Structure 1
Amino acid sequence: MSGTSIIESSDTAQAQARRTLQALWQRGCDFLGSEVAILGGAMSWVSERHLVSAISNAGGFGVIACGAMEPARLAEEIAATKALTTRPFGVNLITMHPRLEALVDTCLEQGVGHIVLAGGVPGAATIRKVRDGGARVVAFTPALALGKRLVKLGIEALVIEGSEAGGHVGPVSLNVLAQEILPHIRDVPVFVAGGLARGDTVLGYLEQGASGAQLGTLFAASTESIAHENFKTAFLRANARDAVTSVQLDERFPVIPVRGLTNGGTRRFMAHQAETVRRFQTGELSREDAQLAIEHFWAGALRRAVIEGDVEEGSVMAGQSVGMVKAVRPVREIIDELVAQAVAALARRGQGVGRSV
């Protein structure tokens, strides 16, 4: 085969690979209204106007992390994001927020097209309110049975997030969740999340039936992320094994698993739990006060790390994919590389190449 023929063959394989990738995540793109079916994970203090708009402007789908915001503050953030992008983006609301219904109203009044309900099982009335208001509604499911139930309640898309993810996580890996859920839920788009940092890996889940993927850790360390430079540097220095979940010392005092980089704060948390349990056993603290003392340990810790740059005592939430963060890069470059990796994997397959080097 001549040199020209080889180039033409390569070009043909690349073009076919792009068409194949587009077909695989077309359902996700159609649902989100984006060019690529890549969502930005909603990360408190990180997923704000600058990062969200950057992801949407790069062809993905940014998601504002409402967190503990009040309605007026959320309205301000939505308006500020709209000023930076004309492309679709969503808002992530915590179902346990005491003003959830008011926050839904705010999103609908601001014309938000997609609302992601997280941190608990959304009620049928809330789901109906979102849909009646003209927005698409998305929820997380940690198991097949709940996923089916949510679809019956009217949820229009699901996210399955494995324990590899950063922040609050469940006990099951994405690899297992995908096998459990993807073959059985076809009525709505399902997006995968947790530990994702390469396009060829995303491709594998698309081929299993996923409609797209959600990534957080890569974007948290992007150029457009407002996270403190110390926060981003901690990501660059970390390995996958450094991103661990918080440890519970006593079953009487539950600790919600949160994955983050181990540091002085995580070590002090262990000592704090031990001392709190001792005070409970000696009668210095009631069970309720002891539980509150443990829960309040991390109050404000995420902001200290993200905004103030205290990565030694703050909470440096990160997924296990942090080990693949090698540089602080623009969001567009990150998304382009993810697409290129998926396309390259498909093209190699089309050319009969077994594996990459």
Structure 2
Amino acid sequence: MTATPKTSALMARGAAFLGTEHAILCGAMSWVSERNLVAAISNAGGFGVIACGAMTPDLLDAEITGTKALTAKPFGVNLITMHPLLFDLIAVCAKHGVGHVVLAGGIPPKGSVEAIKAFGAKVIVFAPTIALAKKLFRSGADALVIEGSEAGGHIGPVSTSVLAQEFLPALAADHLVFVAGGIGRGEAIASYLEMGAAGVQLGTRFACASESIAHPAFKAAFFRGNARDAIASVQVDPRLPVIPVRALKNKGTEEFTAKQIEVAHKLDAGELDMAAAQLEIEHFWAGALRRAVIDGDVERGSVMAGQSVGMVTKEEPVATIMAQLLEESEAALNRR
């Protein structure tokens, strides 16, 4: 018998799909969602997801191997659709028999979903509109994550609560839909499950877990931060395909504005095409995020955090965080 029967019952579809005890995914956070945190999430009954980000195929190969050494439980791999070596990365996932691949950062390019399904893996996608979600499901996607603007990292313009009200009544009966963005407590999990979500995805809540390799200064910035500190970046030039990024305000956010101006000038001069410009912006974020997470430079680095950052107040083991979320959800459902 589970200690949280009502929550488990509502999560049953999502948990069966993921092959886990709980339908709680950890959002893929570059530099943070590596083997140690991913394995800890999976070992605690959730679903860890490796953030491939800008990794080369060799690096991803090593990360999957390292994760397998730490857990025998299911975990997934998050691939960025604009990665120039996307199909090589998919081949690495195939080599390891990865069970679930998350395609993030844009519409999956032609053939990518088919390439993943060809080796038997499940495909999880993101979609900002119901029409696109339906199209992706028709194209073979197995599950959808709807992520609100409260999330950390790359974000869309619509809040989680509005997305949930739009997507879940339209899709949840026939499809697996996971809700993400700004979720920090179990009461919110309970609400989305009751609305029809198959499960939830959290990133910020797990970023400062004991098992996270993030620098102590990065974690301390989270502990000091509150919802108002987690701001979205501003798009300087409408020509630049810049997806807003939510992070704690610091000098790094100001430097990103300067970076956009620099890239716009390169576009004007014909030194870059649009695809190369977007890639340069992505490389900026990858470098800035590494400085914050790994080096502990929380002034000039990018301290990506969701608006739930104010609910992250101390370093705790993943298992403790997971148990707390489930207990809060169950208590909320029992009060209904």
Scaled to the shorter chain, the TM-score interval is over 0.9
Contact 2:182 2:306 (8 Å CA) reproduced: yes
Partner residue of 2:307?
A: 320
Q: Is 1:16–1:347's contact at 8 Å kept on the other side of the alignment?
A: no
Give, in angstroms, the shift of residue 138 of structure 1.
Answer: 0.7
Shift of 1:247: 1.1
2:123 counterpart residue number = 137
Q: Bigger shift: 131-140 or 336-345?
A: 131-140
C-alpha deviation, 1:334, in angstroms: 0.4
After superposition, where does 1:239-254 map in structure 2 within 5 Å? 239-253=226-240
Q: CA contact under 8 A between 2:156 and 2:243: conserved in structure 1?
A: no
Structure 1 regions of 5+ residues with no counterpart? Answer: 1-14, 350-357
Q: CA deviation at 1:287?
A: 6.5
**Alpha-carbon separation, structure 1, partners of 2:52 and 2:203:** 15
* Residues 263-272 or 127-136, more deviating: 263-272
Q: What are the within-5 Å matches in structure 2 for residues 1-357 of structure 1?
A: 18-123=4-109, 125-185=111-171, 186-253=173-240, 255-270=242-257, 286=269, 292=277, 295=281, 298=285, 300-349=287-336
In 2, Cα distance between the equivalents of 1:246 and 1:47? 22
**Structure-2 change in CA distance of 1:299 and 1:226 (3 Å):** closer
Separation (CA, whole Å) in 2 of partners of 1:226 and 1:260: 18
In structure 2, C-alpha distance between the alignment counterparts of 1:151 and 1:74, rounded to whole Å = 27
Change beyond 3 A, Cα 1:284–1:113: closer
CA distance in structure 2 between the aligned counterparts of 1:327 and 1:297, rounded to whole angstroms: 29
TM-score (norm 1): 0.87
Q: 2:14 and 2:221 mapped to 1: Cα distance?
A: 33
Deviation at 1:288, TM superposition (A): 5.3
- Superposed CA RMSD: 2.3
CA distance in 2, matches of 1:229, 1:119: 28
Does structure 2 retain, via aligned residues, the 8 Å contact 1:276–1:290? Answer: no
Cα distance change on mapping 1:218 and 1:145 into 2, 3 Å? same
Alpha-carbon distance in 2 for matches of 1:271, 1:151: 39
The Cα of 1:188 is off from its aligned counterpart by: 2.1
- Which whole-Å CA distance do the structure 2 matches of 1:209 and 1:284 have between them? 45
SS at match of 1:315: coil
What SS does the corresponding residue of 1:316 show, helix, strand or coil? coil
Seen in structure 2, the aligned counterparts of structure 1 residues 80 and 252 have a Cα distance that, compared at 3 Å, is: closer
**TM-superposition CA deviations, 1:63-121 (whole Å, max 9, x none):** 00111111121111111101000100000111111111111111111011111111111
C-alpha change, 1:343 and 1:284, in structure 2 (3 Å) is: closer
1:269 Cα deviation from its structure 2 partner = 3.6
| CA distance, structure 2, for counterparts of residue 346 and residue 57 of structure 1 | 25
The DSSP-based 3-state class of the residue aligned with 2:4 is helix
Q: For residues 148 and 106 of structure 1, do their structure 2 counterparts lie closer, same or farther at Cα, with a shift above 3 Å needed?
A: same
Query: Structure 1 runs of 4+ off > 4 angstroms?
Result: 271-277, 287-294, 296-299
Q: Identity across aligned pairs (percent)?
A: 60
Alpha-carbon distance in 1 for matches of 2:6, 2:237: 50
Larger Rg: 1
| Cα distance change, pair 288–255 in 1 and its aligned pair in 2 (3 A) | farther
Which deviates more, 94-103 or 16-25?
16-25
CA contact (8 A) 1:193 1:214 kept: yes
Cα deviation for residue 131 of structure 1 reads 1.5
SS in structure 2 of the partner of residue 334 of structure 1:
helix
Q: 2:48 corresponds to which letter in structure 1?
A: G
* Structure 2 residue matching 1:50: 3-state secondary structure: helix
Q: Secondary structure at the match of 1:183?
A: helix
* Structure 2 partner of 1:6: none
Q: Residue 124 of structure 1 contacts residue 154 of structure 1 at CA under 8 Å; is this kept in 2? A: no
Q: Structure 2: how far apart are the matches of 1:119 and 1:284?
A: 22
Q: Which moved more, 1:253-262 or 1:236-245?
A: 253-262
Q: Is the 8 A contact 2:75 2:99 kept in 1?
A: yes
Distance in 1, matches of 2:72 and 2:151, equals 29
Aligned-partner SS, 2:108: coil
Give the whole-Å Cα distance in 2 for the aligned partners of 1:80 and 1:273: 36
